Amino acid sequence: MKLTRQLALVSLAALILPWAALQSLFIFDTLLREGQSAALQATANAVAARLGGDNQLLERAGLGAGTATDASHELYLHSLPAPPQLDGSAADWSTYPLAPLELTSTNGPEVTFSAGQYGDKLYLLLQVADATRQFHRQSDTQLATGDHIALFIGNQQEGSARYYAIRAQLPGEVQALYRDSAGLAQRDYRIRGVWRETEQGYAVELTLPADWSQQYFALSAVDKSATQIHHTGTLGDIATMVGGPDPGVLPDTYGRLISHSPALNKALNAFSNNNLRLSVLDKHGWLRGQSGELTATASAQATPWYVRILNPRRTLPPWQDARSGQWPNVNEMHTHWYHQGSADIAQVSAPLYRDWPDAGAVESQKAGLVIVEQRINPWRMIDNRAALNLLGLTLGAGALLLALLIGYALWLSLRIRRLSRAALMVGDNRDALSQTLKHWPRYRVNDEVAELAGHYRRLLEQVRAHTDYLKTLTSKLAHELRTPLAVVNSSLDNLQHTQEQPHSASQAPYIERARQGTLRLSRLVSAMTEASRMETSIASAEREEIHLDQLLRDMSAAYRDAYPLYRFECEIQPVNDGGGQESAYKNAVAPELLVQLLDKLIDNAVSFSPREAPITLSLSRIYAEAGEPQLLLSVHNQGPPLPAELEGQLFNSLTSSRPQSGDKQLHLGLGLYIVDLIARYHEARIWAENTHEGVAFHLLLPIKSPELIAQRKEDS
């Protein structure tokens, strides 16, 4: 079967199980959530019915049928785990699990309010944003002549009320003043506090008896200047009259401090259990009672990865606790799901009615809401064996098919990778062609990969035969041409020394031209023979450790004497790697071969460089990607750039771009071929490139030690 059909059939079979698993997970998720929501809704209805039948409990909790204030006149009182330090700073308040309440008005300052109770003390923190602050100045008629806090405390049992002006003459301790029945200013030492300057304005931190939170309670921050008075808070317009002259009898206000009801918390404790939290809200959304915690158990396990990937829980909104004491946007009979960490939180609500069930579910009898929350991981609640078997079978089959696909892909990839490595070895090393064909990959499966490998093998065998023929072509031509050339030369010699012909003088130019032609053919044969001998001599060359920098200096001096019409420069890059300059360029090479390589490169550079133009020999030490040091030997010359058509063929045999002039110098393109042979003997890389001034040849030599070379020879 062809490879295309194999991949198509396997891929089509793999599409069924992921779809089935996804549908199964969606169905299980929907059923589990619906069942859990129904169970929590039943719990919420039962708690609402139990609380609605106890009117006395609702009255004590502040959820009775009495007068209900407006939500804008209510402030929330939290339970504090520790008493804050009375210093006017919000630093210790930020460590408590609560959120401050933002109070705003049209013209008044912005106020951030926090209230908490610890033991028998009530703590208040007001942070006021006011750019123009004024402290109190002594006055006989006004309780506060500058910015101050207006506070109202109303006693429900005695029917009395008292208005306080919280003022300060300087940052530090505050004073709480009120007017008695005669209109005289009196100071109440039960209210203590600190006034502190801030970047935005000021902050006032107060403490007062905790039983005052059970009475009517309202406050406002008053911004008082010479011409205008603005206020922000729950006290209303009365706040502007508290700190002024005696206004007479001020009316009561109905602001309140809302807090937890201990009696309601105790009643809720009977219904709470692990990871279940019960909350009771009033009609304005304030939290009046709560029991239970939404904490993860120590034995909880993480949700399986496949559930996290396919479960639609990822689309759920994140769960956030109501830290300010007021729950926003809470409707009747709602069901919501949230996510927190690796688990979900289900939230349901039920309306709470007074005189239940006698009075019925009417709006006038509504006291608030009962909210039930539970931390759940629905997938740990699966106890239906059929559902577990279906899920396990689906996931098991999917895992088996996935393993089959991965195994098949790895097997196919391994076959292609083996073929790729074999082809790469042929391209990297010309001498390894025979060895590569000997170990060429063979496949038992008759598919496209096996056919491709066979085609490549036949192609490489043809290339090897042609390459072997080309390798022996020079020696064959040299052998075959020597005898005819000898015959022609001897004939020309005899013809030149024969004086009997009458027209010998007229034949002399033709004899000379024939002799020049045979001379060029002799040099061609000698060059071809030299290349063949060079391959043999390179294979038998011995390496020794020398200083390449000194060799380059000596060769530069020799080239100056040999080519006096050209300028030769030698550049040795300094090395500062801690090993010393003397040992930086030591390497195990074949010196005579390296000199021949330089001779060929210099001969090539002289042929193309203009006279008096510099020819630069440079040597530097560089580091490869693996961090191993290497030596870079370069020959730069000025002249015409390399032709684009010679790219990739410059170091092949019988490849030359020089014009064959009449300088009696024959160029067959064997010089750079010999350079390539010497470079491959040293396991080096040779390449040429065009520069902005001319052409540069680079030889990248790996650093070898004599011990390593000797060890490799012994191993071979």
Q: Which structure tokens are listed for 644?
A: 């684009």
Does residue 182 sit within a domain?
yes
The answer to whether residues 175 and 31 belong to one domain is no
Distance of alpha carbon 263 from alpha carbon 260, whole angstroms: 9
Same domain, 119 and 137: yes
Flag whether pLDDT at 64 surpasses 50.
yes
User: For residues 346 and 338, what is the distance between their CA atoms, to the nearest angstrom?
Assistant: 7
Question: Within this chain, do residues 160 and 287 fall inside the same structural domain, yes or no?
Answer: no
Residue 643 lies in a domain: yes
Instruction: Check residues 556 and 274 and name the one with the higher pLDDT.
Output: 556
Least confident piece of the model among 145-159, 225-239, 452-466 = 452-466
Question: How many domains, in total, are found in the chain?
Answer: 3
Give me the pLDDT at residue 662, please: 41
Domain boundary among 361, 381, 401: 381
Flag whether 359 is in a domain. Answer: yes
Lowest mean per-residue pLDDT among 218-232, 248-262, 523-537: 523-537
For 430-462, the pLDDT digits (tens) are 555 666 666 677 777 777 777 777 777 777 777
- Looking at residue 706, its pLDDT comes to 64
Q: Say yes or no: 245 and 314 in one domain.
A: no
- Higher pLDDT: 156 or 228? It is 228
Residue 441 structure tokens: 């990959």
Q: Is the pLDDT of residue 429 over 60?
A: no
State the pLDDT at residue 383: 45
- Mean residue pLDDT of the chain comes to 80
Average pLDDT over residues 467-495: 71
Contact predicate 460/436, CB 8 Å: yes
On whether residue 509 sits in a domain, the answer given is: no
**Range of weakest confidence among 188-197, 255-264, 353-362, 524-533:** 524-533
Nearest to 674 by CA among 650, 657, 706, 693: 650
Q: What is the dihedral of CA 353, 354, 355, 356, to 10 degrees?
A: 20
**Per-residue model confidence as pLDDT tens digits over 278-331:** 999 988 888 889 998 887 654 445 555 545 555 554 578 888 887 778 887 666
| pLDDT bucket at 551, cuts 50 / 70 / 90 | very high
Does the structure show a pLDDT above 60 at 705? yes
| Pairing verdict, β 192-197 and 172-173 | antiparallel
Query: Are 195 and 171 contacting, i.e. CB atoms less than 8 angstroms apart?
Result: yes
3-state secondary structure 267-311: HHCCCCCCCEEEEEEECCCEEEEEECCCCCCCCCCCCCHHHHHHC
What is the C-alpha to C-alpha distance for residues 308 and 342, in angstroms, rounded to an integer? 8
Q: Are 31 and 335 in contact (CB under 8 A)?
A: no
pLDDT at residue number 299: 45
How confident is the model over 638-658, as pLDDT tens digits? Answer: 988 888 777 767 777 666 655
**Is 609 in the same domain as 669?**
yes
In the numeric block, which tokens belong to residue 711?
Answer: 């060890």
Do 81 and 49 have their domain in common?
no
* Nearest by Cα to 679 from 655, 697, 706: 697
- Joined together, the tokens standing for residue 479 give 């052998």
Q: What is the pLDDT of residue 701?
A: 92
Q: Name the burial class of residue 617, with classes exposed (0-12), middle (13-18) and buried (19+) by CB atoms within 10 angstroms of its CB.
A: buried
277 shares its domain with 206: no
CATH label of the domain that carries residue 671: 3.30.565.10
Residue 242 and residue 248: Cα distance in Å, rounded?
A: 10
Residue 398 lies in a domain: no
Tell me the CATH number at 244.
2.60.40
Parallel/antiparallel/unpaired status of strands 101-103 and 185-187: unpaired
Residues 684 and 583 in one domain: yes
Intra-chain end-to-end CA distance of the chain, in Å: 44
Measure the CA–CA gap between 508 and 534, rounded to whole angstroms: 38
In terms of Cα–Cα distance, which of 74, 114, 85, 121 is closest to 98? 114
User: Collapsing DSSP states into helix, strand and coil, what is residue 104?
Assistant: coil
The structure tokens listed for 432 are: 């390894």
Tell me the pairing of strands 256-258 and 74-76: parallel
* Higher per-residue pLDDT: 624 or 245: 245
> Does residue 690 fall inside a structural domain?
yes
Give the integer Cα–Cα distance in Å for 196 and 125.
Answer: 11
Whether residue 469 lies inside any domain: the answer is no
pLDDT digits (tens, 9 = 90+) for 466-478: 777 766 666 666 6
Q: Structural domain of residue 177, as residue ranges?
A: 71-258
What tens digit of pLDDT does each residue of 658-693 get?
Answer: 554 444 454 556 788 888 888 988 889 999 999 988
Domain boundary among 331, 346, 381: 381
Q: What angle do CA 599, 603, 606 make, to 5 degrees?
A: 135
Q: Does 496 have pLDDT greater than 70?
A: no
CATH number for the domain harbouring residue 295? 3.30.450.20
Boundary of a domain, candidates 228, 258, 288: 258
Mean pLDDT of 154-159: 64
Q: Are residues 99 and 157 in the same domain?
A: yes
Integer-rounded Cα Rg, in Å, for the chain is 50
Q: Check whether residue 619 and residue 709 sit in a common domain.
A: yes
Question: 469: which residues sit within 8 A by CB, 6+ positions away?
Answer: none
Cα–Cα–Cα angle for 677, 678, 681, rounded to 5 degrees: 90
Residues 229, 282, single domain; the answer is no
Q: Tell me how far apart the alpha carbons of residues 114 and 89 are, in angstroms, rounded to a whole number.
A: 12
672 domain residue, yes or no: yes
278 with 218, same domain: the answer is no
